[in-house]
Amino acid sequence: MSKEAETVFKRRKRSTTQITDNNEFNYTVYHTLEEIYKWITDTANENYMIASREQLSTSHEGRPVTAIKLGAPGNQGNKPIAYIQGGIHAREWVSPATMMGLVKQLIDGYNTNDKVKAMLDTFDWYIVPVLNPDGYSYTWTNDRMWRKNRRKPDGNVCTGIDLNRNYAYEWGGDGASPVSCSETYRGPSPLSEPEHEGVTSFLLEKQQTNGVHLFLDVHSYGQYWLYPWGYTGSKTVPLPDRRDLRSLAMAAEDAITAKHGMDYFVGESGPDFYPAAGASEDWGYGALGAKYTYVIELRDEGKYGFLLPETEIKYTVEEMFEALLVVGERLISEFGS
């Protein structure tokens, strides 16, 4: 780790142990995994009419992969599903911070914002702040720039696999490495990792019983809003919902820009970003069948990169919330009963 990165890490680590003066959770700083777990439990308990805690998977080191479910009671559990995950890459701290901020905005808006009320009345929203808890914890204790999970070498030279090259759709192609020491190591087989096992099984089951219509995987950095396919590289292959995927992404990007003036690039993941076989967006669209599947790269464009200052969290949450309102309206118009 560079001296600059180490300095930023230490400053953030000190600041994130603090709670605001009135003993409320501070959404404008980065939080340890333990603080995030406590926040999930507290938020679910304090807002039990519309929020609950659900463990979906367990990590290699035994940590829970936990979602907070938001939705008004009704329809005997048969409401359609919208799913959002963050923290698949350990060093992308603004992703979990944004997930928590969005949950707060949705809870606070349920009784004050007609759009939010409609979103939670019509859909059940499952939001996973940290899909990669072992890796995230490791960034706090050992290596701020760690990316992968913490799978033990198991005969390989290096620890960890890239969870975003391990999905069971076009696994093992371009942009996914067979070398264990690579940052993009794909793992020994598709969906080999326990972090994925419970989450993907849960979503596939919900697709059969409820319908899963949104799959968002939130990363940093670069300011991109991308739709499938990722495995194709520079090739363009058929994408049945390309027009709808692009139009919604453009509308969401307009909402982001209108809030704080930030520009996000909208495009197809592989041709417009880089090839990534076995990635989340291809699984979400191609295997799960969620029509509106995207990978989002949050702030910034590279000045700070993974070491985004805490002062940027508030603005990132605010602009992403505006985008989420646009997404929610589209989901309701197409899939709401």
Phi and psi at residue 85, in whole multiples of 5°? -130, 150
Q: Which of 82, 84, 316 shows the shortest CA–CA distance to 222?
A: 316
Residue with tokens 């970003």: 273
Catalytic residue among 297, 310, 319, 322: 297
Q: Which of 224, 258, 231, 136 shows the shortest CA–CA distance to 176?
A: 231
- What distance in Å separates the CA atoms of residue 27 and residue 174, rounded to the nearest whole number? 38
The verdict on whether 319 is a catalytic residue reads: no
Which parts of the chain fold into alpha helices (H)? 3-15, 33-46, 94-109, 114-122, 133-141, 194-209, 242-260, 269-272, 280-282, 313-335
Per DSSP, the residues of 57-119 read EE-TTS-EEEEEEE--S-GGG---EEEEEE-SSTT-THHHHHHHHHHHHHHHHTTT-HHHHHH
For residue 162, give both structure tokens: 């890239």
Which residues, listed in sequence order, are joined to residue 89 by a DSSP beta bridge? none
Residue 183 identity:
E
Residue 207 contacts residue 288 (beta carbons within 8 Å): yes
Which residues, listed in sequence order, are joined to residue 70 by a DSSP beta bridge? 51, 125
- What distance in Å separates the CA atoms of residue 205 and residue 238, rounded to the nearest whole number? 26
For residue 270, give both structure tokens: 């592989």
- Per-residue b/e over 247-271, b at no fewer than 16 CB within 10 Å? ebbebbbebbeeeeebebebebbbb
For residue 280, give both structure tokens: 């989340």
**Catalytic sites, residue numbers:** 297
